[in-house]
Amino acid sequence: MTLSIGSTAPDFTADTTQGKISFHDWIGDSWAILFSHPKAFTPVCTTELGYMAGLKDEFAKRNTKIIGLSVDSSDDNNRWLPDIEEVGGNKVDYPVIGDTDLNVAKLYNMLPADSGDSAAGRTAANNATVRTVFIIGPDKKIRAMLLYPMSTGRNFDEVLRLLDSVQLTESKGVATPVNWKNGDDVIIPPSVSDEAAKEKYPNGWETVKPYLRRIKQPAN
């Protein structure tokens, strides 16, 4: 199954560093960030998991749970966690999935179907494509996907910014322009007519082009 924005995030049951979970049940009524890693004890991923741990409270403010995935056993991942804390200075207190049978990586189209059914003997290079970030809504639909090469550390500040945009645009029916940050002006979508916009935004807007109308970010 090919995944895209709007697809239902595949459900699965898996062992994690915090015990077994059923993914959709674990998400519950929250948003979720699933971010994957090709292997435990790899340098770039060590920095990423630690930085993400430092953002946990920021994601919690946004009703968003975070969960990692590594193509290793939960035992390996648990042995890795002290290194992550030492390097990044943040304790990883979110779950990390042990994908020993490659099931989750395949469900999420990060590994081909013929990759086998065991993490044993596989290297980070074998799993190089397991480097995706998924933003998933409470309805279990995928809202965004970011794919990175193994050699490039991900920008999780950008993931946080993207989450802010997705949540704002869904709740307020607006769009966000290039390099938008929380609090910046936003855009009235072209699908909203001027007549409808007058009712929704009685204080008016700035018309840059007939199809580009700017307003202050609506209050939450």
pLDDT per residue over 110-168, tens digit each?
999 999 999 999 999 999 999 999 999 999 999 999 999 999 999 999 999 999 999 99
Structure confidence at residue 167 (pLDDT): 98
Residue 58: pLDDT band with limits 50, 70, 90: very high
- Fill in the amino acid letter for 52: M
pLDDT at position 173, please? 95
**Are 37 and 45 within 8 A, CB to CB?**
yes
The helix/strand/coil state of 172 is helix
Q: Which of 45, 92, 136, 162 is catalytic?
A: 45
- Asked whether residue 1 carries a pLDDT value surpassing 70, the answer given is no
Q: Using H for helix, E for strand and C for coil, what is the string for 67-120? A: EEEECCCHHHHHHHHHHHHHHHCCCCCCCEEECCCCHHHHHCCCCCCCCCCCCC
Torsional class of 87: left (φ above 0), alpha (ψ -120 to 50), beta (otherwise) = alpha
Kindly report, residue by residue over 78-95, the tens digit of the pLDDT: 999 999 999 999 999 999
pLDDT at 219: 86
- Please state, as a whole number, how many other Cβ atoms lie within 10 Å of the Cβ of residue 217: 16
How many C-beta atoms lie closer than 10 Å to residue 192's C-beta?
17
* Residue type for position 125: A
Q: Would you call 52 a catalytic residue per the annotation?
A: no
- Report the chain's mean pLDDT, rounded to a whole number: 96
First to last CA, the chain: 36
- Whether 84 and 92 have beta carbons less than 8 Å apart is answered as yes
Mean pLDDT of 23-41: 97
